[in-house]
Structure 1
Amino acid sequence: MRGYKKPTVSIIGASGYSGAELSGMIARHPSVKLENLYAYSQAGNKVSDIYPALNLDMTYRAYEGVPESDICFLALPHGEALKLVPELLDNGKMVIDLSGDFRLKNPAEHLTYYKQEKPADAWMTYAMPELFHDEISQAKAASNPGCYATSIILGLAPVCRPPMSCGTVTSVSCSALSGLSGAGRSAKTELSFSEMNNNIRAYKVGMHQHTPEILQALGTSATSPSFGFAFTPMIAPLTRGIYTVLNISLEKQLPVSEIKEHYRQFYRSAPFVRICSNPPEVLHVAHTNFCDIHVTQSAQDGSLIVITAIDNLVKGAAGQAVQNMNIMLGYDETLGIM
């Protein structure tokens, strides 16, 4: 289009796994222009030296203040975005944050689960497109959901949000396996090949930081939950992917065919959610923005079993962030992703 100027993008925290995934997606996006890549630890290094596969002729820069770009993505460790976002918003930037800094409305829950204090107003639109599309379309600042949270919320939302209410669910037991990239790029002995090959390890059992985020998005809270919720996260010897199994007890036993149809209708306008006849596989969603969901029922007690699979770096991070950017800019939400 003659005279059209593409919105420009800066990525702050671009050298981590999520930041690198995002860099590649923005560089390929047809309707925005990648302008700056900021990275504290890699400042001065060429992107091609750190991530040759990205094929980007750019150099990481040190962050020295508000960039000229129209849109700023932040892919920083928890706590860092809190320091930068207020100034970005004051300067009229569109902001999409991939950390947990702005996800929780309740500062007390944030302190409990993130071990950090934050101001009461440090909250931004919780940007899960399948649930909050209209709110995202009006937002100038968006908080991208966590990876585990995405896989779990999408599996639970049809039975926890209207037209079915949380009162229908009495308890949820959730186990989720994550690929090693979910822990970030920093070297850790316990995540090395020799420690994790042929191994699975549970961690943060009963106290994972995505728990209050999940319950908040489902219309309840970790402080006063309306149904029992037990979450066991685990690390598996995968590079990428999250595989989640949800065992859901309902007040009223419903035919599984009715529940499956409800899931299909709930996600009928969601281009990146696929309701599958068979249990999903991580390989089927790797390097995509899809969430695959399978719904079935226990033959013993009729309880609901929902299985989901996503790529933690795409639908669980960078892909969902680009999806949110598209919605905020009024583009088709699949642009540059599908």
Structure 2
Amino acid sequence: MINAGIIGASGYTGGELMRLLLNHSEVNIVAATSRKLAGEAVTDTHRHLKGFLDLGFQNLTPEEIKSACDVVFVAVPHGTAMDIVPELLDDDVKVIDLSADYRLKTAAFEEAYAMEHRDPRDAVYGLVELHPEVAEQNFIANPGCYPTGATLAAAPLAKAGVISSVIFDSKSGITGAGINPSPVSHYPNMAENVQAYKLTTHRHVAEFVQELNRLDNSLTNISFTPHVVPSIRGILTTAHVFTKEKMDVDGVRKLYEDMYRDKPFVRVLDGSPSLGGVRGSNFCDIGFEVDERNNRIVVVSAIDNLVKGASGQAIQNMNMMCGFDETKGLWSAAAAP
């Protein structure tokens, strides 16, 4: 058994980490931190965990949480993790950062987030399907939710070197905006509505570029527009992939099946995936259709933004880092309908 702690456990991501870890037979949750809620029961905030977890929020220093834990999940806002992670890292604890602070090279981070990086260090990008070296690491940068679904949607075509350009159009549930209310997530503004935002400037584009360029360093024409939809969970991404040559259905399917054959959480479907097919699960469902007339492949991916897009993926990384089966604690069907 290993002991796990969560720094910044009061948000949706922290609550989801605890929900999933409670089903993991090799993990004890021993610490959940929140400066604001210190002294309160975790279940006063995460009421869905009542009866499953007897733990209070604490205001612990990194040294205190490190001394109690084998694995620490850092679930704090970007710009904050870089002040915490350096105090956690040593050979005795594994650290998984769910913020954006270590996903990008330093220069790319500073450009995308318009701030100085106070702890410039490299971390392996924790998209297990593309980074098997996760298993050898003590420190992982957990990917963003949008880049997870989008990168997995386009990766087989990028690896084959056939993409001339790609346009990602993503629709996200409201939980992607975090637990604190905002004008975007306010019910009267969101119900029966769809809102596009940051039409050409979303910071996650830097992650798309970084990961797809690893597969094809000539691919630079990558565009992304996100939307918020009146759904609680999930991200549905439509990737319009324009190819350098005509491709047929059988050829495209072979690329996807070859790349994801041994990847348990990626399912290549016949037809288009849906949010209902992945809700509450760690799966990324992918479907596609070939538009031969326009040298275009329309690839659709669906993930739960709180699971495969955040907490589930972090546990998948933990499993690899700790030598557990990759699916341990995560192998469950979606909550459909």
- In the superposition, the TM-score normalised over structure 1's length comes to 0.93
Counterpart contact for 1:172–1:227, Cα < 8 Å: no
Residue aligning to 2:175 = 181
Specify the code of the residue in structure 1 equivalent to 2:113: Y
Specify the code of the residue in structure 2 equivalent to 1:210: H
| Aligned pair partner of 2:27 in 25, 32, 39 | 32
1:20 equivalenced with 2:19 (yes/no) = no
1:199 equivalenced with 2:193 (yes/no) = yes
1:154 equivalenced with 2:149 (yes/no) = no
Cα distance in structure 2, aligned partners of 1:250 and 1:137: 33
Counterpart contact for 1:293–1:306, Cα < 8 Å: yes
Residue aligning to 2:125 = 126
Counterpart contact for 1:43–1:61, Cα < 8 Å: yes
| Aligned pair partner of 2:228 in 214, 232, 235 | 235
> Structure 1: which 5+ runs fail to align?
1-5
* Per-residue Cα deviation, 1:143-192 (whole angstroms, up to 9, x for no partner): 0010000000000110112xx12xx2111011000000001001213311
Cα distance in structure 1, aligned partners of 2:153 and 2:228: 20
| Aligned pair partner of 2:254 in 248, 254, 261 | 261
Specify the code of the residue in structure 1 equivalent to 2:211: A
Cα distance in structure 1, aligned partners of 2:190 and 2:218: 34
| Aligned pair partner of 2:283 in 282, 286, 290 | 290
Specify the code of the residue in structure 2 equivalent to 1:37: A
Residue aligning to 2:93 = 93
Shift of 1:206: 1.3
Q: Secondary structure at the match of 2:154?
A: helix
| Aligned pair partner of 1:326 in 307, 310, 319 | 319
* Per-residue Cα deviation, 1:295-338 (whole angstroms, up to 9, x for no partner): 11126423111000000000000000000000001111000110
Counterpart contact for 2:157–2:163, Cα < 8 Å: yes
Cα distance in structure 1, aligned partners of 2:117 and 2:90: 18
Counterpart contact for 1:179–1:241, Cα < 8 Å: yes
1:274 equivalenced with 2:267 (yes/no) = yes
Cα distance in structure 1, aligned partners of 2:220 and 2:91: 42
User: Would you identify which runs of 4 or more consecutive aligned residues in structure 1 move more than 6 Å?
Assistant: none
- The root-mean-square deviation of aligned C-alpha atoms, in Å, is 1.6
Alignment map for 1:298-313 (pairs within 5 Å): 298=291, 300-313=293-306
Counterpart contact for 1:12–1:38, Cα < 8 Å: yes
1:109 equivalenced with 2:103 (yes/no) = no
* Per-residue Cα deviation, 1:24-73 (whole angstroms, up to 9, x for no partner): 11122101111100112222211221111112221111132321211100
Identity %: 37
Counterpart contact for 1:285–1:311, Cα < 8 Å: yes
1:8 equivalenced with 2:3 (yes/no) = yes
Cα distance in structure 2, aligned partners of 1:225 and 1:58: 50
Cα distance in structure 2, aligned partners of 1:98 and 1:268: 27
Deviates more, 1:91-100 or 1:7-16: 91-100
Counterpart contact for 2:96–2:314, Cα < 8 Å: yes
Q: Secondary structure at the match of 1:170?
A: strand
1:83 equivalenced with 2:83 (yes/no) = yes
Q: Secondary structure at the match of 2:308?
A: helix
Residue aligning to 2:334 = none
Specify the code of the residue in structure 1 equivalent to 2:170: A
Cα distance in structure 2, aligned partners of 1:141 and 1:93: 9
Counterpart contact for 2:82–2:101, Cα < 8 Å: yes
1:248 equivalenced with 2:246 (yes/no) = no
Specify the code of the residue in structure 1 equivalent to 2:237: T
Counterpart contact for 1:12–1:75, Cα < 8 Å: yes
- In the superposition, the TM-score normalised over structure 2's length comes to 0.93
Specify the code of the residue in structure 2 equivalent to 1:118: H
Cα distance in structure 2, aligned partners of 1:309 and 1:316: 10
